[in-house]
């Protein structure tokens, strides 16, 4: 009587082995995807570091890319001159620093 069901048992065992293999492969895929994500993040950090941009400049640059303005500039579709919102560094804070420095010089002159 066992021989009647032996074929069915063998097929069930094969199915279970295949399910086990699939589960193992899914786990390997999950681990490899996590490794890929980590490698991508590291590459992005390295690329950004190579650009020598401040976080503010990077944010501005990414906003330009997202808005499509960079593509327009590269394709010559925008005839307006490049300004601070299109990639140039805004030097207003440097001007403020210079003013502060001049004020400190005035104070030093008054003390002497």
The pLDDT profile of the chain, 112 residues, written as one tens digit per residue, is: 567 899 999 999 999 999 999 999 999 999 999 999 999 999 998 998 898 988 899 899 899 999 988 888 888 875 454 454 444 444 455 555 555 555 555 555 555 4
Cα angle: 31, vertex 35, 41; to 5 degrees: 145
Q: How far apart are CA 5 and CA 7, in angstroms?
A: 5
pTM metric for this prediction: 0.50
Q: How far apart are CA 31 and CA 23, in angstroms?
A: 12
Count of Cβ atoms closer than 10 Å to residue 79 Cβ? 6
Which residues lie closer than 8 Å to 90 by C-beta, 6 or more apart?
A: 84
DSSP state of 86: G
**What pLDDT, on the 0 to 100 scale, is given for residue 97?**
53
**What pLDDT, on the 0 to 100 scale, is given for residue 43?**
95
């Amino acid at each position: 009587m066992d021989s009647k069901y032996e074929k069915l048992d063998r097929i069930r065992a094969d199915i279970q082995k295949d399910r086990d293999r699939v589960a193992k492969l899914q786990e390997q895929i999950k681990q490899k995807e996590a490794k890929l994500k980590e490698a991508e993040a590291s590459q992005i950090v390295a690329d950004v570091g190579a650009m020598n941009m401040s976080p503010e400049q990077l944010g501005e640059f990414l906003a330009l890319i997202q808005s499509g303005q960079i593509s327009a500039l590269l394709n010559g579709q925008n005839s307006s001159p490049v300004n601070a919102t299109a990639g140039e560094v805004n030097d207003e804070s440097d001007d403020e620093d210079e003013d502060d420095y001049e004020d400190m010089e005035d104070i030093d002159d008054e003390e002497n």
